[in-house]
Amino acid sequence: LSNALKELLEPDASVVAVSISTTRMASENYGFMAPIKAALDSSLAFLAKSFSQFSQVRFNAVAPGLLKTSASAGIPGYVESYLYAEQVIPRKQAVQTQEAANVAAFLLSPRSSGINAQSIVVDAGMSINYFDAEIVRRAMREP
């Protein structure tokens, strides 16, 4: 794959993929997206290693939490998951598409020249707050 693509990229290019904030969850409504994104993340490492033999091309991913997009709106149950995310995120507001785009722009820029074969999570702190005390209290009150 790297041989097929090497002529298409500048020797110091930056490639950014869009992954997801965690590939270690089994969300009923998200199907096989987590394992697919895990394969993407792994592929980035192999591409970075392969390209390092003849260039300085970097391969990274931005890994956002739940986003409000037209594509996600078509996933059954996504709206409920999104609303739950807004409760779990410490700031009580889901990640905005622009926030993920800002990280992608950084990864594409020379300012990220020391970052390669990485996934940068943009989840507004959701991954540290799954057991928020208020959400746990509400869950324990429900039958």
Domain borders along the chain are 2-141
Higher pLDDT, 40 or 130: 40
Determine the pLDDT at residue 106. Answer: 99
List the single range of 58-67, 70-79, 119-128 with lowest mean pLDDT: 70-79
Q: Report the phi/psi class of residue 71: left, alpha or beta, with left for phi > 0 and alpha for psi in -120 to 50.
A: alpha
The pTM of this model reads 0.88
Determine the pLDDT at residue 132. Answer: 85
Determine the pLDDT at residue 22. Answer: 81
Q: Give the tokens for residue 115.
A: 């970052």
Residues 6+ apart with CB under 8 A from 62: 16, 17, 18, 19, 100, 103, 104, 107, 119, 120, 122
The domain defined by 2-141 carries CATH number 3.40.50.720:
yes
- Tokens 């889901």 sit on residue: 94
Average pLDDT (85-94) is: 94
